[in-house]
Amino acid sequence: MEGEQLPEASSQADERSRLVVVKHEPFNAETPPEALAAARTPTPSFFVRSNSAEPELSLATHRVTVEGAVEHPFTLKVAELARGPLRSLPVTLECAGNGRTSMTPLPEGEPWQQGALGTAVWSGVPLAEVLQRARLKPGALEVLVEGADGDASKRFARALPLAKALHPDTLLALEMNGAPLTRAHGAPMRLLVPGWYGMASVKWVTRLEVRTQPFEGYYQRERYIYDRGDGQAIEPVTRMQVKSLITSPAEGTRVAPGRVVVQGMAWSGERRVVRVEVAVDGGDHWRAATLLETPRPSAWVRWAFTWEGAKAGRHTLRARATDEAGETQPERAPWNRLGYGNNAVPVRVVEVG
């Protein structure tokens, strides 16, 4: 096996060539539009969002400390956990800042268009199992998950409420799309929080701390908050809001008049999508699209709509998803200072003829 492995540098270069780069240092890049049309996003095309330089950790030697309000603090050997058994789930990951460039006025932050998004099959061990080994003390409130990146005063670290930390789908993930995690995606082990925006899924995990008091670190209190700038209470960014994406016809393509198949994806945090509707041209005439698979929580569902009688000229297509709680995408998402959670109805301009 060893001799077959590509050198790290060239495999990383190969991986990066498929992405739409937003920033080189630290590396941040979008999933290209064509890769968003596949039910599962191939790892080399899966967006990367890193706040600091990527640490290089070895699966063979990396250890994670488990401490805080537990009866039995211990050190976890990641290589042992990787031997399995592992639980696998398809999960959609969307950066909270995805779509920020369509907000007005333009908020600060990385200029993400629509590609800070992807769906992979992730495999790992439920965080709950590791916490059970440490035995929680009474009063446990949240679990702090710390990454190896960022300097000492600004480590990437996020606290997860205990109930979500103990959910059987919340994983310490070791694999993505059936292969060990790549460095960009958090090797050797990352947290995976299905249904929540990407910031919760801490990469390069080095430490777990069960806490009895709320964590107040930079990436908890200064970032990933909805600050509407109107004196309303500031809220933490948590679950992904109901949203859809039009993948076909692709941006800037011309289609023949007549029958046009419109396709896309729809997802909603921990909830199932129950309905997607499409409107051709402006106005209020929404018609049902077909869901192409059984919707499941935490992963997108593909949809299709057949537009009959498309006439030559320029048209607009809009898509609108609704979830099982009855929440529907807005035409315009509420503005907030850091530009998070833009789940506005997507609009695609199509030239017919």
Ligand X SMILES: Nc1nc2c(c(=O)[nH]1)N[C@H]1C(S)=C(S)[C@@H](COP(=O)(O)O)O[C@H]1N2
Q: Half-sphere exposure of residue 81, counting CA atoms within 13 Å on the CB side? A: 27
319 binds, among ligand X, Mo ion, none (CB under 5 to 8 A by kind): none
Which range in 85-93, 95-103, 267-275, 280-288 contacts Mo ion by CB under 5 A? 95-103
Q: How far is the CB of 43 from ligand X (least distance, A)?
A: 9
- Closest approach, Cβ 155 to ligand X, in A, equals 8
Binding mask 172-211 for ligand X (x = CB under 6 A): -------------x------------xx-xxxx-------
**Among 72, 213, 188, 193, CA closest to 132:** 72
Q: How far is the first Cα of the chain from the last one, in angstroms, to the nearest whole number?
A: 53
- Residue closer to ligand X, measured from CB, 50 or 336: 50
Contact call for residues 69 and 215 (beta carbons, < 8 A): no
H/E element, 80: helix 78-82
Residue 47 binding partner per list Mo ion, ligand X, none, with a CB distance cut-off of 5 to 8 Å that depends on partner kind: ligand X
As a whole number of angstroms, the distance between CA 150 and CA 159 comes to 16
Q: Is 161 helix (H, G, I), strand (E, B) or coil?
A: strand
For residue 224, give Cα distances in angstroms to 99, 192, 310: 15, 17, 42
CA 281 to chain centre: 30
List the beta bridge partners of residue 123.
88, 175
- Smallest distance, ligand X to C-beta of residue 117, A: 9
**In the complex with ligand X, which residue's Cβ is closer, 96 or 255?**
96
* 48 interacts with ligand X by CB under 6 A: yes
Give the separation between CA 83 and CA 261, rounded to whole angstroms: 44
Does 64 bind ligand X (CB under 6 A)? Our answer is: no
In the complex with ligand X, the residue whose CB is nearer, 199 or 319, is 199
Q: Is residue 49 part of the contact set for Mo ion (CB under 5 A)?
A: yes
CB burial of residue 104 (10 Å; 0-12, 13-18, 19+): exposed
> Binding of Mo ion at residue 117 (CB under 5 A)?
no
- For Mo ion, the binding residue among 198, 249, 269, 341 (CB under 5 A) is 198
For the window 77-116, what string marks contact with ligand X as x by the rule CB under 6 A? ----------------x-x---------------------
**54 touching ligand X, by CB under 6 A:** no
Give the shortest CB-163-to-Mo ion separation in angstroms.
22
Estimate the share of the chain in helix, then strand, then coil, as percent rounded to the nearest 5.
15, 40, 50
- Bridge partner list, 235: 226
Q: Which of 41, 43, 45, 50 binds ligand X (CB under 6 A)?
A: 50
Contact call for residue 95 and Mo ion (CB under 5 A): yes
8 Å CB contact between 294 and 310: no
Which partner, ligand X, Mo ion, none, binds residue 147 by CB below 5 to 8 Å per kind?
ligand X
User: Using CB under 6 A as the criterion, which residues of the chain lie in contact with ligand X when the complex forms?
Assistant: 46-51, 93, 95, 147, 149, 156, 185, 198-199, 201-204
